[in-house]
Amino acid sequence: MRNPALLLSFWSVYCCFAAGSLENLRPQGSLQDEQTPTGVPATAKPPVAFNLRTSKDPEHEGCHLSLGDNQLLEDCGFNMTAKTFFVIHGWTMSGMLEKWLHNLVSALQTRERDANVVVVDWLPLAHQLYIDAVNNIRMVGQRVAGMLDWLQEKEEFSLGNVHLIGYSLGAHVAGYAGNFVKGTVGRITGLDPAGPMFEGADLHKRLSPDDADFVDVLHTYTPSFGLSIGIRMPVGHIDIYPNGGDFQPGCGFNDVLGSIAYGTITEAAKCEHERAVHLFVDSLVNQDKPSFAFQCTDPNRFKKGICLSCRKNRCNNIGYNAKKMRKKRNSKMYLKTRAGMPFRVYHYQMKIHIFSYKNSGDIQPTFYITLYGSNADSPDLPLEVVEKIKLNATNTFLVYTEEDLGDLLKIRLAWERISHSWYNLWNEFRSYLSQPSNPSRELHVRRIRVKSGETQRKMTFCAQDPKKTGISPGQELWFHKCRDGWRMKNETSPFVELA
């Protein structure tokens, strides 16, 4: 087993999570009487330091700001009229600032050249047992709020120009800061806020929409089977769940048991959890390739391709480019991504009316679709079946491509003869058993309706040969674009496709 000590520490962390309770998050003391840091030895390093980054060199800590020292503020070159970012790290096992923080700082400096980028270094309080670190975040939030209140005494400084960016436990630090500050912070971004001891907590004990004028959250590691590091519940004005907020492409966590056996579970978990940071960095450095998320009530509806509408603010950019949305009701949003930068993909909704003249049994075909565009062609894309395929009804699917195909010109639909997965193979076997007296396995598809999530364009593709619309295992059908939009005139077939 690789790195058994690291694996052991991972499971000890979760034991700590299980042993803790939300009672540990009860505020102790008041703003005037700050709580004593938990588990922190006497050290020369201040428990909370504010480093104004003046160089892109990760080895350069920047200029240390000291509350009340106006001369130091001037010497550090703090720009009172510019945007001000506070980057807040989370719980740490290494006791060191990690690479992601330097990448984020550099991206902010490149995108907003005149801005103040301040790193909130609370490593002495974060490099503890997780439960102790959790009990320290209230005090760290107070310190951040105190710094903001002091800056507000300067005539040209505006709290509306402040953007707090917190990762993991740091997201809840940002929430406390926004709750304690005198006034309203412009924006808080939570990058996969920590879940253990915060899931289901009162809104005053975690990040919440009340903590800033605009709170946006990226959830990238919230699996539902018990190993969640990030918080699953919505905690912002908009909560975005890339790839459902579960397993991120490229992180290699598809086989959890295999990860445990080879001692890679901590690496995979770190990759999933940290993906929120990289998505945010991507939104800064790849401004010309923004990723879009779509409002949906749950991930399964999104997987079915139902939720690709941009009407009434139902879609939004993710990361730094997210548009401000303030609603009383939280907006849960979803998207697919690639495995690396740039993360943007292109979403398509496929509406396919599948009917049969002979079969009434349980047929579950394994369909693949290929899109041919003016710029490029897609690979064979599986039509993921979230629920059973219905006969004589319109079925909706979500597909996505990593490349911009341009204008879609034609579509190839193929029915795989032999299923690759055991699940699909079992469905095929059940289909045969359900209709022993009727071996015919022919289905009919006359047209496919497509909607692009990124352009909101609707198109209809008709069968290349109107007299040949049947498809069986091992066969394929071709469709060409026959109309912009979905509505069809002079519909006479008994199998009417509803728009």
pLDDT at 415: 95
**Active-site residues: which are they?**
168, 192, 273
216 is in an annotated binding site: no
Compute how many other C-beta atoms are within 10 angstroms of the C-beta atom of residue 496.
11
User: Nearest 10 degrees: CA dihedral of 54, 57, 59, 61?
Assistant: 10
The predicted pLDDT at position 322 comes to: 96
State the pLDDT at residue 328. 62
Q: What pLDDT, on a 0 to 100 scale, did the predictor assign at position 427?
A: 54
How far, in whole angstroms, is CA 339 from its chain's centroid?
13
Domains of the chain by start residue, with CATH: 4-335 (3.40.50.1820), 346-484 (2.60.60.20)
Q: Does residue 267 carry a pLDDT above 80?
A: no
Q: Looking at residues 159-178, what average pLDDT do you find? A: 98
> What pLDDT was estimated at residue 289?
95
Residue 5 CA to residue 2 CA, distance in Å, equals 9
Tokens of 111: 């995108």
Please give the helix or strand (H or E) that residue 239 lies within, else none.
strand 238-242
Phi, psi (degrees; rounded to nearest 5) at 455: -105, -15
> 308, 297, 327, 427: which is closest to 367 by C-alpha?
427
Provide, rounded to the nearest whole percent, the portion of the chain with pLDDT above 70: 79
pLDDT exceeds cutoff 80 at 36: no
List, for residues 444-454, the tens digit of each pLDDT value.
999 999 999 99
Rounded distance, CA 196 to CA 169, Å? 10
Is the pLDDT higher at 254 or at 162?
A: 162
pLDDT at 23 over 50: no
Whole-number mean pLDDT of the chain?
85
| Phi-psi domain of 290 (left: phi exceeds 0; alpha: psi -120 through 50; beta: other) | beta
Q: 8 or 184: whose pLDDT is higher?
A: 184
**DSSP per-residue letters across 97-156:** --HHHHHHHHHHHHHSTTSEEEEEE-HHHHSS-HHHHHHHHHHHHHHHHHHHHHHHTSTT
Element (H, E) at 272: helix 265-285
Distances (CA, A) of 51 to 131, 182, 328: 26, 22, 35
pLDDT at 481 (0 to 100)? 95
User: Annotated binding residue at 417?
Assistant: no
pLDDT of residue 195: 95
* % of the chain exceeding 90 in pLDDT: 68
pLDDT confidence band for 495 (50 / 70 / 90): very low
Q: Is 188 or 358 the better-scoring residue by pLDDT?
A: 188
Give mean pLDDT, residues 197-210: 94
pLDDT higher for 464 or 39?
464
**Nearest 10 degrees: Cα torsion 24, 120, 235, 285:** -150
DSSP output for 287-299: TTS--EEEE-SSH
Contact indicator for 269, 196 with CB cutoff of 8 Å: no
Give pLDDT, residue 44.
59
Top pLDDT among 205 and 257 is at 205
Average pLDDT score over residue span 212-241: 90
Confidence band of 54 (pLDDT split at 50, 70, 90): confident
